[in-house]
Structure 1
Amino acid sequence: MQTSGGAQRFTHEQWPCEPKFRRVNGWRMHYIDEGAGDPVVLLHGNPAWGFLYRKFVKPLTAAGRRVIVPDMIGFGLSEKPTREQAHTLDGHIANLTSLLRQLDVRNATMVCHDWGGPTGLGFALSNRDRVRALVIMSTWAWPLPAAEFHKRIFPWRMMHAPLVGPYLLGRHNALAGRGMYLSVVDRKKFAAEAQPIYEEVLPDPGSRLLTWTWPRWIPLDESARGFARFEWLERELKTSNFPTLLVWGREDEVFDQKTFATRFKELLPHAEGPELVTGRHFLQEDSGVEIAEKINSFLDRIDGGQS
């Protein structure tokens, strides 16, 4: 498979999905659209892409579901703008909205992980007539407090400083490389099977802009540029009655289960879970098939409750 940039190739065994592209707000977005039935939209964060969900596709499509996995603009096989102004949280929500409206997605289950949380929830809470259910994993949707991990001077805040961030994450691809490696449980398997592909789709500093600019939207105080959007997300989420499943990695240190899953339970007391699986922040790498089956069981229960 060749990417939109024309340089990277993957075997069918590594990524056995047909690439599709749409123009969203002037950018070329890559996505996959497999199977038939009610759609399940799988949303990645930073610095991942749709490949993160490769273990989900077969279990979900085999259960009679349509699987849509977009690459956020700036990641994966999608176009990678080289201007920081192209990468705002509202912009990413608008890009996702454009894609799903073009595909006329309805009765969708939004699977939200990392930055796919604020992005996917932003879509869901603005398009309630198109959404059926939520699956929330290792993410957040409120302004403060940030995760303890994101408040540390080293390594997080230093990595996103004006000079250090572009050097480590831009020139040396530290987040897609060592960052992801440290955020899985089975590191040996990840290094052999997946890490080269995550690094390959971010081949040069220009293509890695989003890896060090997107985290600057994580609110650390009330002056943060994303503060108002996260206030809106928290306020709207409290009014949500979407059936919701929480799935968390036992070993997650970025959005730890005790703090963040508990907060989601406070906002969404009707939510199921959290169901714990083996996994650090990128729990899909360690427990992809298991999580997909949990999603199938969750949606089957919804179907049974509606019959």
Structure 2
Amino acid sequence: MKALRTPENRFEELSGFDFEPHYLQVDDFEGGELRLHYLDEGPRDAPVVLLMHGEPSWCYLYRKMIPAITAAGYRAIAPDLIGFGRSDKPADRNDYTYARHVGWIQSFLDQLDLRAINLVCQDWGGLLGLRLVAENPDRFASVVAANTFLPTGDTDLGPAFKKWRQFSQETPQFHVAGVIKGGTVTPLAQAVIDAYNAPFPDESFKEGVRQFPTLVPASPEDPATEANRQAWKVLSQWQKPFLTAFSDQDPITKGADRYFQKFIPGTKGQDHVTIKNGGHFLQEDQGEALAEVVVRFLREQHTVS
């Protein structure tokens, strides 16, 4: 598999992002390997908080949350999905599939031997993270779902998502930071815009960014439909703590929090929140507020004494 690697100098002196990079290798499923980047902050023996980003962001999205999570005594781990951030970027769009993305993060969990994981997921972080929860229920202790969902293709994805998917395929230049900006309700400084663009020197690095919207199951015949249906069978019996923390201004995932609350037993009795003044990328708009919600939720589970 041909893959591109963003030059390291693109990540120098990013605004508010003073974290040490970590790397491991994952199988590319074609006889080779890909390099996957992740952040690993806080005590190594502390309870794990796994921070999963989505499309088209990278772990930079969690820079406001990591200090609060580690200060509370947790270990914050934030991977870059393959095709994003500092991780390698396969050069052919066909190399990106839902199943491969699940496999790449599965390998990541296996190699780090993560246990008792507290998942925080947004956007595709949930489409992947919740699949992993369902396929590795004993590895996970709790879930915080923020502006995400797990579609099977059995229900309509809604006009906002369809508009986004059409835009992603038709725009001649995919302005990554412009998408982030469009999904926030607070202004982004130029340094922040530059940071979101940093992983993508030119359009050739954006094959994964382009492909992701097409991988969301939109019909019952989608290749990921059956696996996601099986995941829902597990989640519909999930008794461990499951919190929804959606923002108030996200047209893409609006209402999915209520769906989770209706069908996942672990949501019962939880203090679900709607975070004010947040768009789709609520970690960018209200990262500190979301971190407070996560820490409070984890402390209620008595994860840290």
Name the TM-score, length of structure 1 as normaliser.
0.88
Distance, in Å, in 2 between the alignment partners of 1:207 and 1:118 is 22
The residue aligned with 2:70 is: 61
Distance, in Å, in 1 between the alignment partners of 2:265 and 2:302 is 20
- Tell me if structure 2 keeps the 8 A contact 1:118–1:233: no
Distance, in Å, in 2 between the alignment partners of 1:282 and 1:222 is 28
Does residue 1:183 correspond to 2:183, yes or no? yes
Q: How does 1:26-65 map to 2 (within 5 A)?
A: 26-36=33-43, 37-65=46-74
SS at match of 1:285: helix
Distance, in Å, in 1 between the alignment partners of 2:38 and 2:161 is 33
- Tell me if structure 1 keeps the 8 A contact 2:119–2:143: yes
Match of 1:194 among 192, 195, 198: 192
Q: CA RMSD in A?
A: 2.0
The residue aligned with 2:100 is: 91
Name the TM-score, length of structure 2 as normaliser.
0.89
Instruction: Give the aligned residue type for 1:183.
Output: G
Distance, in Å, in 2 between the alignment partners of 1:151 and 1:192 is 27
The residue aligned with 2:173 is: 172
The residue aligned with 1:137 is: 146
Distance, in Å, in 2 between the alignment partners of 1:280 and 1:13 is 21
- Tell me if structure 1 keeps the 8 A contact 2:147–2:280: yes
The residue aligned with 2:280 is: 281
Q: Which is worse superposed, 279-288 or 123-132?
A: 123-132
Q: CA deviation at 1:214?
A: 1.2
Match of 1:147 among 142, 154, 157: 157
Gap runs ≥5 in structure 1: none
Q: How does 1:289-304 map to 2 (within 5 A)?
A: 289-303=288-302
Does residue 1:158 correspond to 2:189, yes or no? no
- Tell me if structure 2 keeps the 8 A contact 1:137–1:246: yes
- Tell me if structure 1 keeps the 8 A contact 2:48–2:77: yes
Q: Specify whether residues 27 and 56 from structure 1 end up closer, same or farther in structure 2 by C-alpha distance, changes over 3 A only.
A: same
Instruction: Give the aligned residue type for 1:148.
Output: G
SS at match of 2:302: helix
Instruction: Give the aligned residue type for 2:7.
Output: G
- Tell me if structure 1 keeps the 8 A contact 2:160–2:251: no
Instruction: Give the aligned residue type for 1:266.
Output: K
The residue aligned with 1:204 is: 202
Q: Which is worse superposed, 32-41 or 4-13?
A: 4-13
Instruction: Give me the identity figure in percent.
Output: 29
Gap runs ≥5 in structure 2: 28-32
- Tell me if structure 2 keeps the 8 A contact 1:247–1:273: no
Q: CA deviation at 1:156?
A: 2.8
Q: Specify whether residues 139 and 146 from structure 1 end up closer, same or farther in structure 2 by C-alpha distance, changes over 3 A only.
A: farther
Distance, in Å, in 2 between the alignment partners of 1:244 and 1:8 is 37
Q: How many residues align?
A: 290
The residue aligned with 2:24 is: 22
Q: How does 1:102-117 map to 2 (within 5 A)?
A: 102-117=111-126
SS at match of 2:10: coil
Instruction: Give the aligned residue type for 2:17.
Output: W
Distance, in Å, in 1 between the alignment partners of 2:242 and 2:191 is 31
The superposition leaves residues 47-73 of structure 1 with CA deviations (integer Å, 9 ceiling, x where unpaired) of 000000001111111111001000000
Instruction: Give the aligned residue type for 1:245.
Output: L
Q: CA deviation at 1:80?
A: 0.4
Q: Specify whether residues 212 and 4 from structure 1 end up closer, same or farther in structure 2 by C-alpha distance, changes over 3 A only.
A: closer
Instruction: Give the aligned residue type for 2:263.
Output: L
Distance, in Å, in 2 between the alignment partners of 1:118 and 1:100 is 16
Instruction: Give the aligned residue type for 1:247.
Output: A
Distance, in Å, in 1 between the alignment partners of 2:85 and 2:239 is 33
Q: CA deviation at 1:112?
A: 1.1
- Tell me if structure 2 keeps the 8 A contact 1:115–1:139: yes
- Tell me if structure 2 keeps the 8 A contact 1:118–1:141: yes
Distance, in Å, in 2 between the alignment partners of 1:69 and 1:87 is 20
The superposition leaves residues 102-132 of structure 1 with CA deviations (integer Å, 9 ceiling, x where unpaired) of 1111111011110010211111221222211
